[in-house]
Structure 1
Amino acid sequence: MDQVRTAFRDECARLEEVLRSLDEADLDRPTPCPPWAVRDLIAHVRTGAGRLVDMLAAPAPQRAEVDAAGYFGAAKFTPEVDQARIDSARRAAGESGGVPAVAADFGRAWRASDVAVAAQPPWRLVRTRHGDPMTLTEFLRTRVVEVGVHGLDLAAALDRRPWLTPTAASVVADLLTGGRPVPAELGWDPLTLIGKATGRVELTNRERTLVEAAGVRWLSFGG
């Protein structure tokens, strides 16, 4: 939990810093997550980062049945679920205001989650919006993935260098590969690994051959 919580705090704080540096025109830029503009994607990330407040206020399930890898299963990315996610983010973005309000709202959301997490033991159980019963630590791991990977999408949309923090990169890379080592001959740093594993960066034929030969199976991650 200490490692995952540090990663969550580091990545959220870095994203908040970036948001405060935007201008109003940046909010309307297209993103690699169509049909979302930057303001829509920020709204989506803000909702995800703040979700733990209500989850921890609800009764705990009896037992954990899903881990962080299982949370990102194919069933989570059905057309119906995707459309609901798209529409929800757009509605939230429509109420978000300008850059100062967007940045402040994100800051409040992730800090409220962090405070809620601090008041609970790491083995506390939660139920996700999909109905999955998980440990708090495993769900927080999914929040690091959401903020970190969508941070790469925002960096691309804003024409900025990726700002993924080392602590978040470590958590995300380990989850995406299932903890398996990636062939050393690929020469990938964590940022490259995450880009390749999530489909943000295309694999070359050589890279695909090496990955398949090593038996690496990426975690299904739909956005």
Structure 2
Amino acid sequence: MDQGRVWEAFRLEAGELSRAVAGLSEAEWDRPTRCEPWSVRELLGHVRVVIAWLPQMLDGPAPDKAEVSAAEYYRPDDRFSPQTNAARLGLAQDHAAGHASGAALAEGFAATWQQVDRMCRDEAEDRVVRTRHGDAMLLSEFLLTRVVEIAVHGLDLSDALGREPWLTTEAGAAVLELLLGPDQLDGARELGWDRPTFLRKVTGRAALDVPETTHFERLGIRWLTLG
């Protein structure tokens, strides 16, 4: 996927999430989400954590070549084991608890994604990074996985807060192309879903019936393993 499109999707989707959580009451921050046992504040803490890996990745040595794509990053291995998932849960909870208020957490999230945006813009198109799981990836491919995180968890947060989804056109298109490839986008439109519904369906947040599952399989969808 074109590097410029990925960076734009990241910037716009992160910006929408920042605006959505600005001004939440403490009661709203404590609402439960479908990502149990996380509350709204803990789920935003998770999103901030997964973005915050990037600065240290960019400061580290660049591998000689990329070996893993964004789709391959979500393969079912130890990164989604019960032990890793438990550590992921605890890290988000600890991060959220380290802020005096939801407002401070929101400010920290905004500062983090803006720093990442600035750093990425200084990198070459062929920049390769090493993820914390050991994958050598093009920066643009890893950043696409961050778009997935912000977009999908943005839906979790909007649902928890009882708001209309704020999913941007750019992020929705980027995730859809990751899942289906550029040649199957018309086939996805045959289902008649808007993009928030599509993402809820393909990530297990809304049920798929047998005809829908068959349609997806015919399109050759890339099912992602998510923690």
In the alignment, what sits opposite 2:38? 36
Alignment CA distance shift 1:179-1:197 (3 Å): farther
In the alignment, what sits opposite 2:52? 50
Length-normalised TM-score, structure 2: 0.93
**Residues 1:206 and 2:211 are matched in the alignment:** yes
Cα displacement (A) at 1:184: 4.5
Q: Deviations over 1:89-138 (max 9, x none)?
A: 11111102212211110110000101110111121110001110101110
In the alignment, what sits opposite 1:13? 15
State the number of aligned residues: 222
Alignment CA distance shift 1:183-1:139 (3 Å): closer
Length-normalised TM-score, structure 1: 0.94
Partners of 1:45 and 1:218 in 2: CA distance: 22
CA contact (8 A) 2:18 2:110 kept: yes
Deviates more, 1:194-203 or 1:108-117: 194-203
In the alignment, what sits opposite 2:80? 77
Cα displacement (A) at 1:19: 1.1
Partners of 1:41 and 1:99 in 2: CA distance: 12
Percentage of pairs with the same residue: 43
Q: How does 1:36-185 map to 2 (within 5 A)?
A: 36-75=38-77, 76-181=79-184, 182-185=187-190
Q: Point out 4+ residue stretches in structure 1 off by more than 6 angstroms.
A: none
Over aligned residue pairs, what C-alpha RMSD do you find? 1.4
Partners of 2:15 and 2:161 in 1: CA distance: 18
Partners of 1:158 and 1:183 in 2: CA distance: 28
Cα displacement (A) at 1:183: 4.8
CA contact (8 A) 1:175 1:219 kept: no
Cα displacement (A) at 1:215: 4.5
In the alignment, what sits opposite 1:197? 202
Q: Which runs of 5+ in 1 are unaligned?
A: none
Cα displacement (A) at 1:194: 1.4
